[in-house]
């Protein structure tokens, strides 16, 4: 059973390690038996490493491009929008907080895009052939 940190403790018995042919590789001169502490999530880590090792050049390039784009958004969410700390306990509450933070970031991007569109429309001036009266009063 894993401890509170998620580690499972295994210790070999001394008689099990004494006759082993790999003892010289596995032990220092003062050690008598081996102890290992795999984390409860270690199998998932091994699966991820195997999957990464099978990637071809195209997949690695896509991953590195994606990572470069996403790190800035994650940093913004953490630094400016409170995603560094959970407001409430529980995975479901943390998920809600992450969704709301993502919505805020998306709304900021949308507001910026609308502002840039309006500014570029104002910079171009009135449409050709349109009078001031036509631009100011909407037609019904």
Phi, psi at 49, each rounded to 5°: -65, -40
Name the region of 129 (left: φ>0; alpha: ψ -120 to 50; beta: rest): left
Global pTM value: 0.52
Angle, CA 68 vertex, CA 65 and CA 69 arms, to 5°: 90
Q: Distance (Å, rounded) from C-alpha 17 to C-alpha 23?
A: 7
Angle, CA 49 vertex, CA 26 and CA 102 arms, to 5°: 135
Domain boundaries, the chain: 1-40, 55-121
Percentage of residues in the chain having pLDDT higher than 90: 55
- pLDDT tens-digit readout, 34-49: 888 888 899 999 999 9
């Amino acid at each position: 059973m894993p401890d509170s940190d998620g580690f499972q403790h295994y210790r070999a018995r001394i008689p099990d390690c004494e006759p082993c042919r790999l003892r010289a590789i596995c032990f220092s001169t003062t050690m008598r038996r081996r102890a290992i502490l795999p984390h409860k999530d270690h199998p998932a880590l091994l699966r991820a490493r195997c999957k990464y090792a099978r990637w071809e050049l195209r997949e690695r390039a896509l991953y590195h491009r994606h990572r470069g784009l996403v790190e800035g958004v994650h940093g913004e969410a953490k630094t400016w929008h409170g995603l560094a700390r959970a407001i409430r306990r529980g995975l479901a509450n943390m998920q809600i907080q992450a969704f709301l933070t993502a919505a805020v970031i998306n709304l900021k991007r949308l507001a910026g895009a609308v502002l840039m569109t309006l500014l570029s429309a104002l910079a171009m001036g009135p449409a050709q052939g349109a009078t001031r009266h036509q631009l100011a009063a909407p037609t019904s």
